[in-house]
Structure 1
Amino acid sequence: MCGFADVGSRAERFVCSPWHVLANAGTVFNGLALAIGALLLWRFWPRRVSGRAGSLLLAIGGLLVVGVGLTPWDLLPDAHHAFALLQAPLQWAGMLLLVRATWHGALPRAVPVVTASAAMLSIAGFALFVDALAGGPSASLGLGLTERVAFDTLTLWSAVVGVLLLRQRPPQAQAQAQAQAQAQAAAAISAGRGTRPRRASSSP
């Protein structure tokens, strides 16, 4: 959002995009949405340690995104980088834990597949971003593109998986509905047996 323009010329100056405040506010909102979404989707994950731990790490990752937005790079670069570098591995760990929790669960297979694919793509993008910062071959792709692949992939994953989960009933609700249906079927069978007319006894 901010940087030096016309570098090397007499007109070199430090400028900021007129939309930098809105961009920072959007980052804060995005982080809050990620954290709140992770908590709201808590009931969808299997009741396993990996599922609960993964959801918790995603919520913490969302709060770290809030920190990224509250510490603009042009004003607080060290804090900005620290929040970003903490958020990425925490979210990767949370996503991989959710892959483990949901791979053999009742949720659609698309959930763990999309989650694993997004995590791998984000990690690859982060490696390219670090290489570009160091002036490596990835610099030809540009810092902006590699950074977007590294971090925005996580945001897109949250939206896609959120839609997939909201189209499903939580596993606990599915189990309760199945148990209720079985109980109703058993009650109907018992009632049918209880009201079955008896055969008339034959006279000797």
Structure 2
Amino acid sequence: MTGNGAGGSAPDAKAAVSSKILTIPNLLSFFRLALIPFFLGFIIAGQGGWALIVLVVSSVTDFLDGYLARRLGQISRLGQLLDPAADRLYIFAALIGLAFQGVIPWWLMGAIIGRDVMLLVLGIVLANHGYGPLPVHHLGKVATFCLFFALPLLMLGEAVPVVAAVSLPLGWAFALWGAFLYWWAGFIYIRETLRVIRIPVDAAAE
């Protein structure tokens, strides 16, 4: 996922971040968010092929909003919030839909969503102590990549049985590895939060 204003060359990285709302990249991000209910509905209804089409359209839109934000100089604070939010919501929608269909167990869905709830709590703790969110750890990035790769593979295996023998095992491998790394990164965030707010880890564990 490219991000609304992420990446780019050195000159792009120095581009001003605006507070505008109605920009072309932001409109694309809103469109991407509007597709999420359709994405979830198709998965729950067992329409895996249509869900994959929506996911492809969303991915193309994600690339375009990031590209246009840099190209047109329309990087915005709102866009920087919308893009990761959309990524998370697509993951949640895929997890809920696949769990509803019995493709993945509910405990796996709960484990992944529970970790993000934990990060939300950590963010509140940091804010109460006057700190912003922690920098994204590379393990968290790898875990998110694994999940982005795993969920479409699982959906593909359900939608196209002829590739299920390959798609499903690969999807499960990436899903379990992603969930493990997700929580590994989560524990690192807990440790860093305790360090930042100056609460010794040993004392917090007592």
Same fold (TM over 0.5): no
What is the TM-score when the length of structure 2 is the normalising length?
A: 0.38
What is the TM-score when the length of structure 1 is the normalising length?
A: 0.38
Give the greater-gyration-radius structure (CA): 1
Q: Per chain length, whose mean CA-contact separation is higher, i.e. which structure has more relative contact order (CA < 8 Å, sep 6+)?
A: 2
